[in-house]
Amino acid sequence: MNSILTIHTVRFILLVIIQVLILNHINFLGDINPYTYILFIGLYPVKNNRIALMFLAFLLGITIDLFMDTGGIHAAACVFIAYLRPTILKFSFGMIYEHQSIRFDSVDFGSRLTYFALLTILHHIILFSLEIFNFSNIFIILKKTLFSSIFTILLGLILTIIFSRKPK
């Protein structure tokens, strides 16, 4: 139990530092950045309860907001995907989720991709809608969501593959 706690604390801090130090400065084609810190919410243990995850997601989002001076947009997007996570898990993993026996290292690549892509796209839509805060700019919101999502999904999957504990 203790080791799980340590792993998640370290992961939280590392993801925030990587996001703030490196990923926020990529600015690919002007303004496209990956937001890979949501990996924390994606990889949070499935069995743990929803309430704790939502609090942690809020904390994660508000930490990123503190660093980026963005008010509460990351917190809102994180809480949103943390709330919807059980639904997304059920949708992308089906029966395995019902038996509460998912290990993210061992599920097949297709459903892992679906799961992470859904999380990312929902997160980014909320994030950019709140950032731009103007529905007459809906095309900019969609464009930013699309490009950043591709970036985030790619990077997230690469990170999970590199750091998976049981190489097959």
Partner 1 sequence: MQQIINFIIRNKSFLLFLLLFGLSILFTIQSHSYHKSKFINSANILTGGFYNSINEIDQYFNLKTQNKLLTEENKTLRSRIRSYGIKTDSVVTESKTFGKPYRFFTANIIKNSYSLNTNVLTINKGENDGIKQDFGVISSKGIVGIIDKTSANYATVISILNTTSKISAQLKQSNHFGTLTWNGKNPYITQLIDIPKIAPIKVGDTITTSGRSSIFPKDVNVGVVKNFKLDQAENYYEINVRLFNDMTSIEHVYIIENVDKDEIINLTNSY
Q: Which residues bind partner 1 (CB under 8 A)?
A: 20-21, 24, 27, 30-33, 50-51, 54-55, 58, 61-62, 65-73, 75-76, 79-80, 83, 130-133, 137, 140
Q: How far is the CB of 22 from partner 1 (least distance, A)?
A: 11
Q: What are the tokens at 46? A: 């499935």
> Minimum distance between the CB of residue 55 and partner 1, rounded to whole angstroms?
8
Give me the residues paired with residue 32 across strands. 28
Closer to partner 1 at the Cβ: 133 or 163?
133
Is residue 85 within 8 Å of residue 110, measured between CB atoms? no
**Least CB distance to partner 1 at residue 28 (A):** 10
Under 8 Å between Cβ of 105 and 58: no
DSSP 85-149: HHHHHHHHHTHHHHTT---TTTS-HHHHHHHHHHHHHHHHHHHHHHHH--GGGHHHHHHHHHHHH
3-state class (DSSP) for residue 28: strand
- Which of these, 87, 45, 41, 88, lies nearest to 61 by C-alpha position? 41
CB of 5 to partner 1, least distance (A): 22
Closer Cβ to partner 1, 112 or 124, answer by number: 124
Given the complex with partner 1, which of 77 and 121 has the nearer CB atom?
77
d(CA 89, CA 111) in angstroms, rounded, equals 9
Beta carbon of residue 156, minimum distance to partner 1 (angstroms, whole number):
20
Quick one: 140 or 159, whose CB is closer to partner 1?
Answer: 140
Nearest CB to partner 1, comparing residues 72 and 164: 72
